[in-house]
Amino acid sequence: MPKVLVSDPIDQVGLDILSQVAQVDVNTSLAPEELINIIGDYDALMIRSGTRVTEAVITAGQNLKIIGRAGVGVDNVDVPAATRRGILVVNSPEGNTIAAAEHALAMMMALSRYIPSADRSVKAGEWKRSDFTGVEVYKKTLGVVGLGKIGSHVAAVARAMGMKLLAYDPFISAERAEQLGCRLVDLDLLFREADYITLHLPKTPETTHLINARTLAMMKPTVRIINCARGGIIDETALADALRQGHIGGAALDVYEAEPLGPSDLRELGKSVVLTPHLGASTEEAQVNVAIDVAEQIRDVLLGLPARSAVNIPGLSPEVLQKLRPYLQLAETLGNLVGQLAGGRVQELTVRLQGDIASGDSQPIMIATLKGLLSNALQERVNYVNAAIEAKQRGIHVIETRDAGIRDYTGSLSISARGNLGEHAVTGVLLGGSEIRVTDIDQFPINVPPTQHMLFTLHRDMPGIIGKIGSLLGSFNVNIASMQVGRKIVRGDAVMVLSLDDPLPEGILTEILKVEGIRDAYTVNL
């Protein structure tokens, strides 16, 4: 039975899901070196924000298939290292959307009305109403940096409260922003015009210290900044200096460059600063949602099924994945087939998408083809996570072409592989939406369902050759399940495809190549 290690607190409902398919060990007090020492025994690791999954942990996790982060980000996981090792990394991009958005809105209101400071004052026996005169958000301009699911929800609520909306997001269209009631602008304009700025974007090299001394200097002296996204997007030293000098009006932070927050000038800035200990996802509902989401994905992967929210393979919704899954199997099968026919080192792979699939997302199909191509040589070392990396490291040049005009079938794939031993090409289709058929081998028309053991021959189309091959296989006790010949002209070259009940015994291929008229022969095991 697979083993799952849960190294951060996870709602019980998630543990129950994992227990359906695996032995679940919960240990939430592991030091980094302790995690490294035991991770080799586990097939999956489920975490939240407390566990740091470093390259050393990933290297030690010889059996790891999946790392699941019960939350939105994966900042605490070395995703490139996991990808190189073929380990799937998944998260829950939507499980805490509402919780995080509501916390950002709550922080904005708390900052506007000085609620935390007023609360402390009253509890201390004071009644200093004039010290806590706040401001209204109505008709103020909110700058939303990042219009993903969380930022979009914040924008929708803020719009309902009567705020004007500016937005910056380089990955969203102006039309989509307008649907949300936002005016899409460049970042400098947003910084200059906003009364409130709320951040909803990941921490990357490009967004690290996005809010810094230079950008703070261009903001209104009354601006209030809210960060419930990721620590490090704001230069906290520059922010504290700007607040102390009155260059901006206030800040509300739920995330920090180093957590837990250590000694910081931000603690000493009174009512102009609201600080919370990374509570964005800390609602009962969100904890249940992310636990269910990630546990289900870990369970599915351990059962051999795809994950719906992988961060290091193309992300597909369950609906799209369900529609695309047969084509992924087709691509993987054809990639495996052409790789074995080509033999040796493949230098160039060309994938031609035809018909309906030519107009969709091609990246998953390309990855499935590469997985199939490399699987015979790399076995379990190649999967949907690292197939593209393995191909690149081996110098395989990948070419994608499309032809939506071909309508012989709803959708088909044509794959060719060129290597040091020559070039081969195969074409395949889906019949009835799920049945794979190989319809072309090296431009010879055939119609063959792929099977586990197959023999391909290139021969001269002449009387008796099929009988000779059949007799030879029979003498080696090899049973033929089916046979088909494809040819272009009578008495020219032809391709024969035999489906076999058993793999070919040692030495028989050499005997086949001795048969008069046989130009070449290949065995394929799928």
**Residue owning tokens 């023999």:** 455
DSSP letter string, 439-507 = EEETTEEEEE---SEEEEEEEE--TTHHHHHHHHHHHTTPPEEEEEEEESSTTSEEEEEEEESSPPPTT
Give the SS3 label for residue 132: helix
Query: Cα dihedral angle (175, 180, 181, 185), rounded to 10 degrees?
Result: -60
Question: Which residue type occupies 262?
Answer: G
CB atoms within 10 A of CB 265: 14
The one-character DSSP state at 37 is H
* Tokens standing for residue 191: 């910084």
Which residues are known catalytic residues?
230, 259, 278
For residues 467 and 505, what is the distance between their CA atoms, to the nearest angstrom? Answer: 19
Looking at 33-130, which runs of residues are DSSP E strands?
Answer: 44-47, 66-69, 88-90
Looking at 299-443, which runs of residues are DSSP E strands?
Answer: 346-355, 397-403, 411-419, 422-431, 435-441
Q: How far is CA 171 from the centre of its chain?
A: 17
CB atoms within 10 A of CB 104: 26
For helices 115-123 and 97-113, the axis angle rounded to 10 degrees is 60
